[in-house]
Amino acid sequence: MRAFGKNSLTDAEVFTLHANTLSGAMGQLSPPTKFFTVLIACDSSGLSVEEISGFARALVAKGAVWVCTWGKGCERFHDLIDEVAVEMKVLGWLPPERSEAVVMTTWHERESLAGALWFLLSCAWPLDDELESCSTLVITVGNQAWAQEMAECLKAMDEFRKQQMDGAY
């Protein structure tokens, strides 16, 4: 994972992770904090329910509190994360400290990748009791150009956010 400093709005450390496959991303997933918000940029249209659900279980188990999805098939990806989060809660598969956890999800199929990142940085806030121990992850899967775009945006997070608000990015 690559660090990009703190988000000035949430005070959360921001990291990126790139992998060629979703299973590769799952293998690298090690959030540095108890809770995290995350954007997943992935063409999931060819992935099986099992692949996405396995990744979703890892996200929820490791502390995801807000998951944004972007890319082809992102609405389906989002729906499967919702299903998995409910399943884990109902079946008691969450650690005791997360038994009442809420996982917010959004999908961003009609937005640019930069627009989805802006949403993550500006709107995807954890609950107050999770804020202190929360980081932000940006996961790109399969497309190196997406990883490069995210790194460019995150190098100057505040300026990027301002440009997005001004419609200039």
Q: Residue 154 has what pLDDT?
A: 94
pLDDT above 90 coverage of the chain, percent = 68
What are the boundaries of each domain within the chain?
A: 2-166
CA pair distance 95, 74, nearest whole angstrom: 27
For the stretch 49-97, pLDDT in tens is 999 999 999 999 899 999 999 999 999 999 999 999 988 888 887 777 6
CA pair distance 150, 27, nearest whole angstrom: 21
CA pair distance 64, 80, nearest whole angstrom: 14
Q: Residue 169 has what pLDDT?
A: 47
For the stretch 114-166, pLDDT in tens is 999 999 999 998 776 666 789 999 999 999 999 999 999 999 988 888 888 77
CA pair distance 30, 62, nearest whole angstrom: 8
Which phi and psi (to 5°) does residue 22 adopt? -65, -40
Question: What is the fold, at CATH topology level, of the domain defined by 2-166?
Answer: Protein-Tyrosine Phosphatase; Chain A (3.90.190)
pTM, entire model: 0.92
> Beta partners for 68?
39, 106
Buried b (16+ CB within 10 A) or exposed e, 102-135: ebbbbbbeebebbebbbbbbeebbbeeebeeebb
For the stretch 96-125, pLDDT in tens is 766 666 789 999 999 999 999 999 999 998
Q: Residue 126 has what pLDDT?
A: 77
